[in-house]
């Protein structure tokens, strides 16, 4: 029994210590009693396996279970470091992507993360020692029922913590701080199951009324597009929507050591509409969620990448809308077709063709990082565009400017001093500069082939490149204050056919405003189901957030709301723009209600395939 007692104490202490370390790293308070109860429950469940009889097989089971949950915690730590959330079990399907992004994952690991595996090593030593001593352990007089009671007792403690300590408004981080990762995951999974089992009936009763209210909201949004001075002026023109990997807005017009970081993007801005106050709205699908938001103008899934959660169903994305307008629609990405489940999801997004690393029309010999170089893919696409005999919509997702931001020397265009060169900031700037060169070559080719003048060209960043651990370096080396707002800020540039003069519009917006802006330029008359607004007719600057920060936070023209981790509106921070004065929460109530409504509406539409019913409603 002494040996079993040591095993229990190690599990209890090890689990408590590393949970506390995780919570402290998130700058939250550690709820001592609840987390100690959770650690004790975990220990009880594991020792119940060996309490009656210690065998090699049972010891290995204990080691396996503890190691598996420790791996889950490490995964949560790394995931939170990037996404400000913890993993959901829905995301197990993404495990096949780890091999392709292993360099990106390794770049998130720090020396302090050894604490998450040190107790596993100690447990391994104790288990190995126990294996050699198994013959000397006497069988316990405890009955099977007693061992089962220990296990059930541990499970009941977890159930108690899950039901009494956690609530839906809590952020993922706060759930962990409040009760630990196991109750947090149980709570998240339970909520996901509940949502799946409770779907509305849109064909009768309250469900039909709700559908009609949705339809009215979307109609009013679409009608607002007609107020744009550009509405319908570019009907029938080609559309290239270019999603730039890991591109922050701070690089635009930025000079480092007398060199422009983005000379070609800067030149494009001088003859385009530039929106410098646009923010990313990615979710757990990262790049793929930026795609989904930009093409569908709806918030992404809460628990998984949008292309996994919403692979099937009916959508009214740009691809679908423009297919209905007799456009040739396609998507392009230099990675494998299955990455982020694109190959399965794209047909329902309206893409008739998907050009990827293994596509027969693509020469994939020139590669860096995760796939074919941007420059190679872009040049090949200009040849493909030339063969179309109808208007086309191509959605291009760049790839080369991807973590961990490593380039061969011959692809580096910036001459940087030793102070900046080979630092995370220097590596990022070199990658941005390479991607910008590819952009410049692409635009030149489009002009040479006579495509440019007949094309609406939209260029935007998908999400931030560097993480907050580079904040000090960014400030010291290139004078960028990399706070949350700067990190979320991505460039958006729209070049209209024939445009020769640039225009800067400081309206606050997000990636979900891209699709409505494009449909407005094209004068689309089909019903569109967009939560975002046309930037050229948007009455008030506003951007709401579901991910990457506390849910329902927003940036507005008058106020900025930072919701609390508890999810209680009254505990959030409401700050007046300009004065930075902290206001009463009520000042931010309208914005809070708006972002909450938009997120809930997006969920109702996507989780219940409401677009199918909206289409039927509008056909009658």
Three-state SS for 181-194 is HHHHHHHHHHHHHH
Residue 217 has pLDDT above 90, yes or no: yes
Which tens digits make up the pLDDT trace of 147-159? 889 999 999 999 9
Q: What are the tens digits of pLDDT across the range 75-132? A: 999 989 888 889 887 666 555 554 555 556 777 888 899 999 999 999 999 988 887 7
Q: Average pLDDT for residues 530-539, to the nearest whole number?
A: 96
Q: pLDDT tens digits, residue range 466-485?
A: 988 899 999 999 999 999 99
Q: What are phi and psi of 355, to 5 degrees?
A: -90, 120
For residue 241, pLDDT over 60 is answered with: yes
pLDDT digits (tens, 9 = 90+) for 571-607: 999 999 999 999 999 999 999 999 999 999 999 999 9
Q: Structure tokens of 322? A: 């423009």
**Per-residue confidence (pLDDT) for residue 169, from 0 to 100:** 87
Spell out the domain ranges in the chain: 2-197, 205-540
Q: Mean pLDDT over residues 367-371, rounded?
A: 92
Among 422, 381, 417, 423, smallest CA distance to 399 is for 381
Task: Tell me how far apart the alpha carbons of residues 124 and 118 are, in angstroms, rounded to a whole number.
Answer: 10
Tokens of 188: 């998240």
**pLDDT score at 616:** 95
Question: What pLDDT sits at residue 87?
Answer: 87
Is residue 451 scored above 70 in pLDDT?
A: yes
DSSP string, 363-408: ---SEETTEE-HHHHHHHHHHHHHT-SS-EEEEEE--SS-TT----
pLDDT at 64 over 70: yes
pLDDT value for 94: 58
Measured distance CA(41)–CA(491) in Å, rounded: 49
pLDDT of residue 51: 85
Helix (H, G, I), strand (E, B) or coil at 492: strand
Which ranges constitute the DSSP H helices of 489-547? 514-522
Q: Would you place residue 388 in the very low, low, confident or very high pLDDT band (cuts 50, 70, 90)?
A: very high
For residues 7 and 591, give the distance between their C-alpha atoms in angstroms, rounded to a whole number: 52
- In the sheet with 573-576, reading across from the earlier edge strand, the strands are 542-544, 554-556, 559-562, 573-576, 582-583
Which one is predicted more confidently, 434 or 53? 434
- Tokens representing 2 are 């002494």
Cβ atoms 572, 560 nearer than 8 A: no
Per-residue confidence (pLDDT) for residue 88, from 0 to 100: 80
Structure tokens at 324: 């209905």
Q: Residue 303's pLDDT band (boundaries 50, 70, 90)?
A: confident
Q: Give the number of other Cβ atoms within 10 Å of residue 206's Cβ.
A: 10
Q: Which of 131-145, 345-359, 472-486 has the lowest mean pLDDT?
A: 131-145
Alpha-carbon distance values, 66 to 6, 13, 15, 205, 283 (Å): 15, 13, 9, 50, 30
Residue that has been written with the tokens 């300590």 in this structure? 165
Coil, strand, or helix at residue 585?
helix
pLDDT over 70 percentage in the chain: 96
CA distances from 415 to 181, 265, 403, 406, 412 (A): 46, 19, 21, 16, 8
Token pair 């007089």 is found at: 141
7-34 pLDDT tens trace = 999 999 999 999 999 999 999 999 999 9
CATH class, range 205-540: alpha beta
The answer to whether 281 touches 510, Cβ cutoff 8 Å, is yes
* Whole-angstrom distance, CA of residue 20 vs CA of residue 24: 6
Yes or no: say if 462 and 287 are a contact pair by the CB < 8 Å rule.
Answer: yes
Name the pLDDT band for 55 (thresholds 50, 70, 90).
confident
Q: What mean pLDDT do residues 239-255 have? A: 98
Q: What CA–CA distance (Å, rounded) separates 306 from 294?
A: 12
Predicted pLDDT at 56: 87
Per-residue confidence (pLDDT) for residue 92, from 0 to 100:
62
Residues 229 and 446 sit within 8 Å (Cβ to Cβ): no
Distance CA 395, CA 397 (A): 7
pLDDT at 377 over 90: yes
């Amino acid at each position: 029994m002494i040996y079993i007692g040591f095993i229990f104490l190690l599990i209890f202490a090890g689990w408590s210590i590393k949970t506390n370390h995780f919570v402290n790293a998130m700058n939250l308070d550690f709820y001592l009693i609840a987390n100690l109860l959770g650690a004790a429950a975990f220990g009880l469940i594991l020792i119940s396996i060996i309490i009656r009889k210690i065998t090699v097989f049972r010891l290995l089971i204990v080691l396996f279970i503890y190691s598996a949950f420790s791996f889950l915690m490490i995964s949560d730590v790394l995931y939170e470091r990037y996404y400000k959330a913890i993993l959901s079990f829905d995301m197990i399907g993404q495990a096949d992507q780890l091999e392709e992004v292993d360099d990106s994952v390794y770049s998130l690991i720090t020396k302090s993360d050894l604490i998450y595996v040190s107790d596993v090593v100690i447990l391994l030593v104790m288990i190995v020692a126990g294996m050699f001593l198994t013959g000397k352990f006497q069988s316990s007089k405890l009955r099977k029922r007693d061992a089962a009671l220990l296990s059930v007792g541990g499970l009941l403690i977890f159930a108690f913590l899950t039901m009494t300590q956690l609530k839906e408004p809590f952020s993922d981080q706060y759930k962990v701080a409040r009760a630990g990762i196991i109750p947090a995951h149980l709570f998240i999974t339970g909520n996901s199951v509940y949502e799946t089992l409770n779907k509305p009936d849109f064909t009768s009763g309250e469900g039909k009324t709700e559908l009609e209210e949705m339809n009215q909201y979307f109609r009013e949004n679409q009608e607002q597009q007609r107020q744009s001075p550009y509405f319908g002026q570019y009907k029938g023109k080609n559309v290239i929507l270019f999603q730039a990997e890991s591109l922050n807005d701070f690089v635009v017009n930025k000079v480092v050591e007398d060199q422009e970081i983005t000379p070609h993007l800067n030149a494009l801005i001088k003859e385009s509409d530039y929106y410098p106050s646009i923010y990313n709205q990615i979710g757990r699908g990262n790049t793929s969620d930026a795609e989904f938001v930009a093409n569908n103008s709806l918030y992404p899934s809460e628990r998984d990448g949008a292309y996994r959660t919403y692979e099937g169903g009916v959508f009214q994305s740009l691809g679908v809308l423009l297919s209905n307008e007799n456009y040739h629609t396609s998507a392009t990405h230099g990675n494998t077709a299955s990455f982020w489940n694109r190959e399965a999801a794209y047909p329902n997004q309206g893409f008739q063709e998907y050009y990827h690393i293994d596509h027969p029309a693509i020469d994939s010999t020139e590669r860096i990082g995760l796939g074919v170089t941007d420059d190679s893919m872009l040049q090949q696409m200009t040849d493909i565009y030339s063969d179309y005999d109808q208007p086309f919509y191509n959605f291009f997702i760049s790839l080369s400017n991807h973590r961990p931001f490593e380039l061969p020397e011959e692809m580096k265009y910036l001459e940087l001093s030793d102070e900046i060169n080979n630092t995370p900031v220097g590596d990022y700037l070199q990658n941005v500069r390479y991607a910008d060169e590819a952009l410049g070559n692409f635009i030149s080719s489009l002009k040479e082939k006579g495509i440019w003048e007949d094309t609406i060209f939209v260029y935007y960043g998908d999400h931030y490149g560097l993480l907050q651990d580079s904040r000090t370096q960014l400030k010291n080396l290139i004078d960028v204050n990399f706070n949350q707002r700067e990190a979320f800020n991505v460039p958006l540039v729209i070049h209209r056919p024939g445009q020769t003069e640039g225009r800067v519009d400081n309206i606050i917006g997000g990636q979900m405003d891209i699709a409505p802006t494009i449909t407005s330029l094209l004068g689309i008359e089909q019903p569109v189901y967009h939560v975002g607004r046309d930037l050229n007719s948007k009455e008030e600057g506003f951007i709401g957030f579901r991910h990457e920060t506390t849910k329902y936070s927003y940036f507005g023209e008058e106020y900025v709301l930072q919701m609390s981790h508890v999810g209680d509106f009254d505990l959030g921070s409401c700050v007046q723009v300009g004065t930075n004065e902290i206001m009463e929460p009520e000042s931010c109530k309208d914005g809070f209600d708006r972002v909450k409504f938009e997120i809930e509406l997006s969920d109702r539409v996507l989780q219940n395939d409401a677009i199918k019913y909206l289409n039927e409603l509008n056909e009658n």
